[in-house]
């Protein structure tokens, strides 16, 4: 029988084998913690997964919805070519300020632009900068249906859309859940099941962040 402790130990083992020492990322996680940001960054192996997916796609233009302290932003920006650009949307001014400092520390502030405000408002301002090659969504789950709808609008055939935290510890199967985050994900699934412009699947995961999962889609 496995336990969350086992999941974390397995993550730690693979990270020790496949990740080199990364002072910048260690600094960023510590800075986020000291600033009192929620400890909801992706795990290091999840960050590298995003990096590898963006490299595999050959992405030059990346959109991220949900910046927090910039940890995942930096992973994604590392995958960009010299002339690449990442636009990341963040609701909280404090988070954006800390993220900007972290991006500067990582030497990537010239490749990343932070837009502060409610994403469902600021997404409308990006239409003249679309289409994006890769879109990462990791923000409030209540608004996931709207974020994904905008992601499809700001895409082109072949755009990769990745959304985190959609399994909710298995609670997503509860159709009577009073949790707005669960309801948001379930509404998203209804939307995607009827959306002909994207092919998608969900993968459940366990690890240092517990039991959850992500959605991966490609625009047709």
The pTM (predicted TM-score) of the whole model is: 0.96
> What are the extents of the domains in the chain?
4-219
pLDDT at 2: 84
pLDDT at 107: 95
The rounded distance, in Å, linking the Cα atoms of 68 and 93 is 10
Q: Which fold has domain 4-219?
A: Rossmann fold (3.40.50)
Q: Tens-of-pLDDT digits for all 220 residues of the chain?
A: 789 999 999 999 999 999 988 888 999 999 999 999 998 999 999 999 999 999 999 999 999 999 999 999 999 999 999 999 999 999 999 999 999 999 999 999 999 999 999 999 999 999 999 999 999 999 999 999 999 999 999 999 999 999 999 999 999 999 999 999 999 999 999 999 999 999 999 999 999 999 999 999 999 9
pLDDT at 21: 86
How are beta strands 61-65 and 134-137 bridged, if at all? parallel
**Three-state SS across the chain?**
CCCHHHHHHHHHHHHHHHCCCCHHHHHHHHHHHHCCCCCCCCCHHHHHHHHHHHHHHCCCEEEEECCCCCHHHHHHHHCCCCCCEEEEEECCHHHHHHHHHHHHHCCCCCCEEEEECCHHHHHHHHHHHCCCCEEEECCCHHHHHHHHHHHHHCCCCCCEEEEECCCHHHHHHCCCCCCHHHHHHHHHHHHHHCCCCEEEEEEEEEECCEEEEEEEEEEC
């Amino acid at each position: 029988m496995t336990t969350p402790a086992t999941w974390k130990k397995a993550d730690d083992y693979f990270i020790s084998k496949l990740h080199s020492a990364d002072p910048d990322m260690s600094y960023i996680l510590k800075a986020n913690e000291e600033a009192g940001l929620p400890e909801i960054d992706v795990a290091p192996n999840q960050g590298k997964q995003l990096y590898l997916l963006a490299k595999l796609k050959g992405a030059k233009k990346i959109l991220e919805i949900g910046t927090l302290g910039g940890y995942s932003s930096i992973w994604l920006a590392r995958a960009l070519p010299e002339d690449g650009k990442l636009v990341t949307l963040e609701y909280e001014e404090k988070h954006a300020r800390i993220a900007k400092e972290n991006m500067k520390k990582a030497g990537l502030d010239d490749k990343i632009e932070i837009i502060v405000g409610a994403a469902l408002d600021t997404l409308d301002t990006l239409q003249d900068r679309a289409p994006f090659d890769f879109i990462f969504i990791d923000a409030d789950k209540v608004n996931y249906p709207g974020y994904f709808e905008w992601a499809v609008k700001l895409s082109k055939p072949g755009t990769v859309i990745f959304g985190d935290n959609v399994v909710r510890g298995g609670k997503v199967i509860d159709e009577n859940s009073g949790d707005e985050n669960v309801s948001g994900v379930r509404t998203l699934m209804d939307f995607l099941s009827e959306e002909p412009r994207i092919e998608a699947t969900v993968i459940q995961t366990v690890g240092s962040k517990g039991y959850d999962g992500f959605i991966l889609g490609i625009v047709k």
